[in-house]
Amino acid sequence: MKLDRPVTGGPCWTELGTPDLEAAKRFYAAVFNWRPETDPRSEAGGYTVAHLGDAAVAALSPLYQESQPVAWNVSFAVEDADAAAQQVRAAGGTVLLGPMDVLDAGRFTVATDPTGALFQLWQARAFPGAGLFNAPGSLGWVELMTREPKQAEAFYTTVFGWTVNALERYTQWGVAGDDFGGMTVMDDKFPPEVPPHWLPYFAVTDVDITAADAAGAGGTVLMEPTSVPDGPRIAVLRDPQGAMFGVYLAAREG
């Protein structure tokens, strides 16, 4: 992505909801060399921040509700979570949780777009979001998977004011023209039970080795390493608990 820090309207954080926090810590440490630190405060509920060096890059957390899916979720930065939640509703989305304060870190909302894809809003206070983007092991791209691209485009450009770069094969999202993600139309290759969703991509130095490392640590390679025409080499993986995520060759993101 062309963003190198959290900016209003752009992706600022990604977090995993998992039924086995300890297993997730081991898996992602093996794949990305993350150093997980679990917040010891009881009110934090086991929330764990993964680091590369001193930089926070992602979070791992237990499932807090029975209905919560095992999945990676993407948060977008907003200046006012309450106003943004109202914009989500007005544009046809649904607010599932919040806005609510998260200790002293910020204000948080969980929502779905009109096509059914879940995402999060983050109004920063003490915690601005990821301290590193685009470097190996950190977030470098986010992709919306949806069956209704026109409806999705109308929603996100209304709520966040994103710019749209409609390439021949791929639609890319941006903040003031700085692309940070894209949109893939879910066709018949996607099983009907797979819902629309946001998929985070993490940068790596070697996609093939990372895919092999993930498989060796108990994960699954859903899409074999592939070189995208006029784009990077990518793969889509699934961790042992079922959460999907992508990887791409660092410094060559679309």
CATH number corresponding to 11-124: 3.10.180.10
Report yes or no on whether pTM surpasses 0.85. yes
Amino acid 253: pLDDT: 42
Could you tell me the residue ranges of all domains in the chain? 11-124, 139-249
Model confidence at 252: pLDDT above 50 = no
> Are 11-124 and 139-249 equal in CATH topology?
yes
Average pLDDT over residues 104-121: 96
- In three state form, how does the secondary structure of the chain look? CCCCCCCCCCEEEEEEEECCHHHHHHHHHHHHCCEEEECCCHHHCCCEEEEECCEEEEEEEECCCCCCCCEEEEEEECCCHHHHHHHHHHCCCEEEEEEEEECCCEEEEEEECCCCCEEEEEEECCCCCCCCCCCCCCEEEEEEEECCHHHHHHHHHHHHCCEEEECCCCEEEEECCEEEEEEEECCCCCCCCCCCEEEEEEEECCHHHHHHHHHHCCCEEEEEEEECCCCCEEEEEECCCCCEEEEEECCCCC
Amino acid 254: pLDDT: 41
Percent of the chain clearing pLDDT 70 (strictly above): 99
Average pLDDT over residues 28-44: 94
As assigned by CATH, the class of the 139-249 domain is alpha beta
